A and B are shown apart, each in its own frame.
Chain A
Amino acid sequence: MSEHYTLHVNGADHEVRDAWLGENLLYVLRERLGFLAAKGACEQGECGSCSVLLDGRLVCSCLVLAASAVGQPIVTVEGLGDGDRLTDVQQAFVDAGAVQCGFCTPGLIMAAHDLLDRHAEPSEMQIREELSGNVCRCTGYGRIIDAVQRVAVARRSAL
């Protein structure tokens, strides 16, 4: 593979030029393509702040070799909403006060969307287990769980 490759991020192709091929996806998203939502903290897959969807799977972008992700759809928080409109999960995080410093929030938003897409009625234990890869040092998680439950209830009553 040449040192130019193309990543498909949030529905559009983005060319990565003159990059070292050992770079992880988080670095390429932030430093080369300007997608700043995913955050880098541990760079070893423990904190979840860099969570993105890769080919429909929630993964830590710091553990993805960017050059190996060619041809696979990548979704970051920037690709979730419709322009400036918040998703139901983002709005619930605001309403429930699930955001304090905000550093972990993009990863949690990705994980919460992924969880709610697979479980329409998650129990509290299920939410805790599903979000166990996302570390938050501010909230104590209570309001994050509340936000996820609000979305689950709202989605069910909208059916």
Chain B
Amino acid sequence: MTVIVPTSIPEALSAFGEHPEAVALAGGTDLLVEINEGHRQAPSTIVALDRVSDLTTWTIDQRAHRLRIGAGIRWAEIERPPLAELVPALAQAARTVGSPQIRNAGTVGGNLATCSPAGDGLPVLSALGATVHVVGAAGRRALPIDDFMVGVKRTALGSGELIEAVEVPLVEGFQGFSKVGVRNAMVIAAANACVVTDGTDVRIAVGSVAPTVIRCGEAERVASDAADWNARSIDPADARRSGELAAAASRPIDDHRSTAVYRRHAVAVMVERLLLRALPGTVAS
């Protein structure tokens, strides 16, 4: 086995150029488990990305109201200010990722690259309409997150391409994350959800209930149309209806973590509650 520890993006790309079979290592919280347990044949070359300083910075574009988060930024940094104040739902999700030890290692780029259906950052990034910036020998490209996520642990990342950053709008409205699992800490989601309001837009994404995180268009439209945007309120019956539509859009399975029936129910409850938090005003009678 060869282990390469580049310190810049060009160095990392040339490592992938010389070793097309190489596997990227970010926080190691997925890859090392697979190597330790022998679930995958150990790769012949590993490119460890944690010393690439260009991947661990974040920047704000004030004019465009957008935040660009380096792929190598760890959950521990996202769950604390200043990032926690800029993307509160992502910070809420960060706080539920594994344990402090896992959050000190795992990165937002790793969450994207692994593309687990249960990845806790992914519903937030999807609801925010994030853009994934990737870089390869042929140059850079930017993909909407919903195109980036292709299937269970499958992404649109090409061979030799790296995730450089993920970019999200800085929304003025509400953003909230919710997650259900068998306990409070150190748990993989049985289901998770994010609701974002931006202007009179409602955006809803749910995870762990389909091969990838999904946006729930019909639930979004019902909530957006039903909301009283001046009073910032929604009739609880409409919030419930939107939650039910999100549940109807999910395609959960039974597995060792939960059942399809429970997951669908959990999605309906989480979306309903998040909508009531997003639009807490008193409903005019």
Binding site for B on A (CB under 8 A): 1, 20-22, 24, 43-46, 48, 51, 57-60, 62-65, 67-68, 70, 111, 114, 129-130, 132-134
User: By the criterion CB–CB under 8 Å, are B33 and A63 in contact?
Assistant: yes
Q: Do A20 and B1 contact each other (CB < 8 Å), given the known contacts A63-B33, A64-B28, A65-B32? A: yes
Q: Check: B4 CB closer than 8 A to any chain A CB.
A: yes
- Write out, one digit per residue, whether chain B residues 254-278 have a CB within 8 A of any chain A CB (1) or not (0): 0000000000000000000000000
Bound together, the chains give a CA A63 to CA B33 distance in angstroms of 7
User: By the criterion CB–CB under 8 Å, are B100 and A111 in contact?
Assistant: yes
- Extra pairs beyond A43-B36, A57-B104, A58-B100 (14, CB < 8 Å): A1-B3, A22-B1, A22-B46, A44-B33, A45-B105, A46-B186, A63-B28, A64-B32, A64-B105, A68-B3, A111-B101, A133-B100, A133-B185, A133-B186
Q: Check: B244 CB closer than 8 A to any chain A CB.
A: no
Chain A residues within an 8 Å CB radius of B161: none
Bound together, the chains give a CA A20 to CA B225 distance in angstroms of 60
User: By the criterion CB–CB under 8 Å, are A132 and B4 in contact?
Assistant: no
Bound together, the chains give a CA A43 to CA B50 distance in angstroms of 21
Task: Give which listed residue, B28, B101, B186, contacts A65 with CB less than 8 A.
Answer: B28
Chain A residues within an 8 Å CB radius of B3: 1, 21, 65, 67-68
- Write out, one digit per residue, whether chain B residues 1-44 have a CB within 8 A of any chain A CB (1) or not (0): 11111000000000000000000010111011101110000100
User: By the criterion CB–CB under 8 Å, are A45 and B1 in contact?
Assistant: no
Bound together, the chains give a CA A81 to CA B32 distance in angstroms of 30
Q: Do A48 and B4 contact each other (CB < 8 Å), given the known contacts A22-B35, A59-B104, A62-B32? A: no
Q: How large is the interface on B (under 10, 10 to 19, 20 to 34, 35 or more residues)?
A: 20 to 34
Chain B residues within an 8 Å CB radius of A64: 28, 32, 105
Chain B residues within an 8 Å CB radius of A58: 100-101, 104
Chain B residues within an 8 Å CB radius of A44: 33, 36-37
Most buried by B among A20, A63, A67: A63
Bound together, the chains give a CA A114 to CA B76 distance in angstroms of 13
Bound together, the chains give a CA A67 to CA B193 distance in angstroms of 37
Chain A residues within an 8 Å CB radius of B186: 46, 132-133
User: By the criterion CB–CB under 8 Å, are A129 and B185 in contact?
Assistant: yes
Q: Check: B226 CB closer than 8 A to any chain A CB.
A: no
Q: Which residue of B lies closest to A44 (CB)?
A: B33
Chain A residues within an 8 Å CB radius of B105: 45, 57, 59-60, 63-64
Q: Which residue of B lies closest to A66 (CB)?
A: B3
Bound together, the chains give a CA A58 to CA B105 distance in angstroms of 9
Task: Give which listed residue, B27, B50, B99, contacts A48 with CB less than 8 A.
Answer: B99
User: By the criterion CB–CB under 8 Å, are A45 and B25 in contact?
Assistant: no
Q: Check: B98 CB closer than 8 A to any chain A CB.
A: yes
Q: Check: B52 CB closer than 8 A to any chain A CB.
A: no
Q: Check: B222 CB closer than 8 A to any chain A CB.
A: no
